């Protein structure tokens, strides 16, 4: 048994996980807890921050108990998290003043439209790499400050702190000693200038966010303070932090310009490393921070889809037509084809490249013999077609992709990955470790504590499990995509 280990916390949209990695990047232990999703109104999505905390802490304690049982020394802790999700808490008590407003939440769509009418959004995009959309944190922070009684006054008096989930966890794990985030999470707020790497005064005033609530922004591999043993069971340094999609790109060793990965969890996020060049998209993709190491920023182009595995989760928990996500593969294989049934899962609007918060989902092509297998197939196919749209947007921004690395819970579904290769007409690689988000921050911890010399040393740890080669004829591919595009047009709000 190894005597030194790295502990990674992966706080995702639907579950919290803690993993223990060996220095060689093998998973030695995993604990996972799902927690409830809260849907108070159409387009609203919230989490109870205490449920985020309790599920994280409980899985972390299990991981710490595992390391103790095996007499392992924890070199450091890494944190990766669902991005943009916004929490505001009281600096004295550490108690959130409102539920976490989740990245999928669209309640600030009208605010975004109003701001778009009075501000040149090109300036916003030039500074932040983002677009004006409820997805990002800024309008969520302002919503909390304006809707919780007395909050704005308390924020201005310095009594409240804002953080994405990483910041909130760092605050709690260090017993309130550290209020910090990393450059990748900061780059998802709409108030962070990705060129100067600082909070932007003009944008703070546009979004009405007081500077007093903001965390310090650190490198992804950095010193984020020590965990409090009384809370976590261990005194260990937090040494690596990154938003989950960027962490996945690190875990997939996408370190050279042109390398690309796609992660299929609740949503789907394609990240293309663009090196030191911050490419501004002509096709409504986001420019974002891939990682910042030793003060040096590497940029990425990102395509974000809001509903991927969430569509399967809806079939399981909402419609209850399946019991487990893993049933989906056999159900799909029971059909000879999609038989004309298509789903556009715009449950919370559509992300890239449409950015339409008012679009809503629909299912097309139902007949009397449509069954649950068709629903499942249409849901899985929709994720593939949306990826195809993102890669199309990347191609129009000049990207020349030769292969794609995939990961995330949904890629356990082999049928889905093969269909992806077919529709994208691109070879796909699946790594040995699909827990790439947790692995990515474990790599960051390893960099910070000197276990890995540099990114090349990390690249050598990446191993391919299997490869998927396209096998669909051009006519069929084109006809499926044409049908899909026709249905997308029907759900767009304008
Ligand atoms: N075999 C499968 N086929 C299709 N979807 C799956 C399968 N296994 C898991 N999923 C979906 O993957 C998602 C979980 O992936 P995960 O990476 O854990 O997500 P997150 O980090 O967003 O919580 C769930 O939405 C689940 O429905
Ligand atoms: O929880 P995931 O893995 O779906 O990731 C959520 C993203 O970070 C949202 O931007």
* pLDDT tens per residue across span 136-147: 999 999 999 999
Residue 471 burial (CB count, 10 A): 9
Q: Scanning the structure block, which residue is given the tokens 């992806």?
A: 420
Q: In this structure, is residue 307 part of a structural domain? A: yes
Q: What residues pair up with 491 in beta bridges, in sequence order?
A: none
Backbone angles phi, psi at 53, to 5 degrees: -65, -50
Q: What is the average pLDDT score of the chain?
A: 95
> Which atom, in ligand 1's list, is nearest to the CA of 409?
15
Are 326 and 222 contained in the same domain? Answer: no
111 lines ligand 2 (CB under 6 A): no
The secondary structure of 248-301 as a DSSP string is: HHHHTT--STT-EEEEESSSEEEEEEEET--PPPSSSPEEEEEEEETTEEEEEE
Cβ < 6 A, ligand 1 pocket: 12-15, 265-266, 309-310, 312-313, 325-326, 328-329, 408-410, 412-413
pLDDT computed for residue 2 by the predictor = 58
- Element holding 218 (H helix, E strand): strand 216-218
Distance, in Å, from the CA atom of 102 to the CA atom of 37, rounded to the nearest integer, reads 9
Higher pLDDT, 382 or 358: 382
83 lines ligand 2 (CB under 6 A): yes
Residue 351's pLDDT band (boundaries 50, 70, 90)?
confident
Of the listed ligands, the closest to the CA of 16 is 1
Q: In this structure, is residue 386 part of a structural domain? A: yes
Range 459-466 average pLDDT: 91
Distance, in Å, from the CA atom of 412 to the CA atom of 401, rounded to the nearest integer, reads 23
Cα(428) to ligand 1 centroid in Å equals: 18
Are 199 and 270 contained in the same domain? Answer: no
Distance, in Å, from the CA atom of 25 to the CA atom of 104, rounded to the nearest integer, reads 32
Range 11-35 average pLDDT: 95
What percent of the chain is predicted at pLDDT more than 90? 90
Range 463-480 average pLDDT: 94
Distance, in Å, from the CA atom of 220 to the CA atom of 185, rounded to the nearest integer, reads 10
Range 312-335 average pLDDT: 95
Cα(409) to ligand 1 centroid in Å equals: 4
Are 347 and 221 contained in the same domain? Answer: no
Are 186 and 272 contained in the same domain? Answer: no
* pLDDT tens per residue across span 433-456: 888 999 999 999 999 999 999 999
Backbone angles phi, psi at 147, to 5 degrees: -110, -10
| Contact between residue 307 and residue 348 where contact means Cβ atoms under 8 Å apart | yes
Domain extent for 494: 253-431+463-494
Number of domains in the chain: 2
pLDDT computed for residue 400 by the predictor = 87
Cα(207) to ligand 2 centroid in Å equals: 23
351 lines ligand 2 (CB under 6 A): no
Range 188-195 average pLDDT: 97
Are 264 and 235 contained in the same domain? Answer: no
Q: In this structure, is residue 437 part of a structural domain? A: no
Alpha helices in 307-454 (DSSP H): 309-313, 328-333, 372-396, 414-424, 436-448
| Contact between residue 179 and residue 171 where contact means Cβ atoms under 8 Å apart | yes
pLDDT computed for residue 434 by the predictor = 84
Residue nearest to atom 3 of ligand 2 (CA): 265
Range 379-407 average pLDDT: 93
Class of residue 294 by CB neighbours under 10 A (exposed 0-12, middle 13-18, buried 19+): exposed
């Amino acid at each position: 048994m190894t005597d030194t280990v790295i502990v990674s916390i992966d706080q995702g949209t639907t579950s919290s996980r803690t993993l223990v990695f060996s220095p060689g990047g093998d998973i030695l232990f995993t604990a996972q807890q799902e927690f409830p999703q809260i849907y108070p109104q159409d387009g609203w999505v919230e989490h109870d921050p205490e449920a985020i905390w309790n599920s994280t802490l409980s899985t972390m304690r299990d991981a710490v108990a595992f390391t103790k049982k095996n007499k392992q020394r924890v070199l450091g802790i890494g944190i990766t998290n669902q991005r943009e999700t916004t929490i505001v808490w009281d600096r004295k008590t550490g108690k959130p003043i409102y539920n976490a407003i989740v990245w999928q939440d669209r309640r600030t769509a009208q605010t975004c439209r109003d701001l778009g009418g009075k501000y040149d959004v090109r300036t916003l995009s030039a500074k932040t790499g983002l677009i004006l959309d409820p997805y990002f944190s800024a309008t969520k922070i302002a919503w909390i400050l304006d809707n919780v009684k007395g909050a704005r006054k308390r924020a201005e008096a310095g009594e409240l702190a804002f953080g994405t989930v990483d910041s909130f966890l760092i605050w709690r794990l260090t017993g309130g000693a550290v209020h910090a985030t990393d450059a990748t999470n900061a780059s998802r707020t709409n108030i962070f200038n990705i060129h100067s790497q600082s909070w932007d005064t003009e944008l703070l005033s546009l979004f009405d966010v007081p500077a007093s609530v903001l965390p310090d922004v650190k490198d992804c591999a950095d010193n984020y303070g020590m965990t409090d043993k009384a809370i976590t069971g261990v005194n260990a340094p937090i040494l690596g932090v990154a938003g989950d999609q960027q962490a996945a790109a690190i875990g997939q060793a996408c370190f050279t310009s042109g390398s690309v990965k796609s992660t299929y969890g609740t949503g789907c996020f394609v990240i293309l490393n663009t090196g030191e060049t911050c490419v501004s998209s002509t096709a409504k993709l986001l420019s974002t921070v891939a990682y910042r190491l030793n003060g040096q920023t590497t940029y990425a182009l990102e395509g974000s889809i809001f509903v991927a595995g969430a569509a399967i989760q809806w079939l399981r928990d909402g419609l209850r037509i399946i019991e487990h996500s893993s049933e989906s593969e056999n159900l799909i294989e029971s059909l000879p084809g999609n038989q004309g049934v298509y789903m556009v899962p715009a449950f919370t609007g559509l992300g890239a490249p449409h950015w339409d918060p008012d679009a809503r989902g629909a299912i097309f092509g139902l007949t009397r013999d449509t069954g649950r297998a068709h629903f499942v197939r249409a849901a899985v196919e929709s994720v593939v077609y949306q990826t195809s749209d993102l890669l199309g947007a990347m191609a129009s921004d000049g990207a020349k992709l030769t292969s794609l690395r995939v990961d995330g819970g949904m890629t356990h579904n082999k049928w889905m990955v093969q269909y992806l290769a077919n529709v994208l007409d691109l070879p796909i690689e699946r790594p040995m470790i699909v827990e790439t988000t947790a692995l990515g921050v474990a790599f960051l911890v390893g960099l910070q504590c000197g276990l890995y010399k540099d990114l090349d040393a990390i690249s050598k740890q990446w191993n391919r499990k299997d490869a998927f080669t396209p096998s669909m004829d051009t006519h069929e591919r084109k006809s499926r995509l044409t049908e899909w595009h026709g249905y997308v047009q029907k759900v767009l709000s304008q």
